[in-house]
Each structure stands twice: as structure tokens, then as C-alpha cells.
Amino acid sequence: MVGVIHAQQTKVTSSFTISGEVFSPLTVSVMDLKKWKEVPIGDLVITNHSGEKKSEAKGLKGILLKEILQTVEIKSESPKVLSEYYFVFKSSDGYKVVYSWNELFNTSVGESVYLITEKNEKTITDMDDSILVLSTKDFKTGRRNVKGLSSIEVMRVK
């Protein structure tokens, strides 16, 4: 039997929702991103699962993702249980990436996960992979790229 590979097509998105275990779901549009501080990130080599160079993103600018996530209130009865929460980032093509609450808010990883607002001299509205989330400190940088971000679901381990 011969297998057939179907490549999924990521669609550019202009907004994403934050929902799940939050008191009030939030939709964030590209225009809403002006509310948060944009910072220069620099250049980043994008590697695949084997660590091979696939591309290079130049002149990156972005918003620290945890700043956006802090705008929603998680349904937790106390700060102690926040360690039980995680975030599922979903792309327009169904690709999913997971971060724990502790990873984003209690380690240095949280200081390196960005929603990209500019890449290769293109603003977010002109980027082919918008809305893009990158983890700049990962060893294999392409593994947790989310192109065409459509949603972030806040979940709790049960």
C-alpha cells in the first residue's frame, strides 16, 4: 500500500480567540495588538525537528505572549492551582502546540515566546504566516512555531 501525504495549508489569520478555563473569552484582532508593547527581537534561524536550518527570520519584532495572556482571568480558585493549567495554541490548519502555565509565567521560556508583529521587513498584516507565534529560545526553533494562529485554549489537567 502506498501512503499519500496531504500537506495542510495554513491560512493567514487576522484574529485569534483565548477561551476555555477563563471567566471571559477574548478575541484579539491584529488591530488590537497596538495595545501591547512591541519589542525588537532580532534575527532567528528556523530549524526543523532534526535541527537543520529551514529558513531565517530577519528583523523580528513582537509582543511578549504572556502579556497578552495576562489580560484574561483564569478560572482558578487560588494561585496555587495555576500549576495545573496549560495553553493549547491552534493554527488555522489544525497544528497544535502546548505550553504550561508555569513554563510561560514561571521560567525564562516565558521571556522568549512572542507573537510576531514584524518579520523580514513585513508588518503583521503583510506576513504570509500571520498570526505567528515563535519561541525564540527553543533548541529546534521550528517545532513550536504556530503560523496562522486561530485560538489559544486555556485548559486544566484533571
The tens digit of pLDDT for each residue in 14-65 reads 999 999 999 999 999 999 999 999 999 999 999 888 888 999 999 999 999 9
- Percent of the chain predicted with pLDDT > 90: 80
Q: List the beta bridge partners of residue 114.
A: 64, 134
pLDDT digit string, tens, across residues 79-96: 999 999 999 999 999 999
Give domain status of residue 9, yes or no.
no
Give domain status of residue 2, yes or no.
no
pLDDT of 4: 46
Give domain status of residue 3, yes or no.
no
Give domain status of residue 75, yes or no.
yes
Three-class secondary structure of residue 101 per DSSP: helix
Give domain status of residue 8, yes or no.
no
pTM over 0.85: yes
- Percent of the chain predicted with pLDDT > 70: 94
Residue range of the domain that includes 94:
15-156
Give domain status of residue 7, yes or no.
no
- CATH number, residue 134: 3.90.420.10
Q: Ramachandran region of residue 103, left (φ > 0), alpha (ψ -120 to 50) or beta?
A: alpha
Contacts of 157 (CB under 8 A, 6+ apart): 84, 85, 86
* Residue 16 and residue 131 in contact, taking contact as beta carbons nearer than 8 Å: yes
Give domain status of residue 4, yes or no.
no
Q: How many domains does the chain have?
A: 1
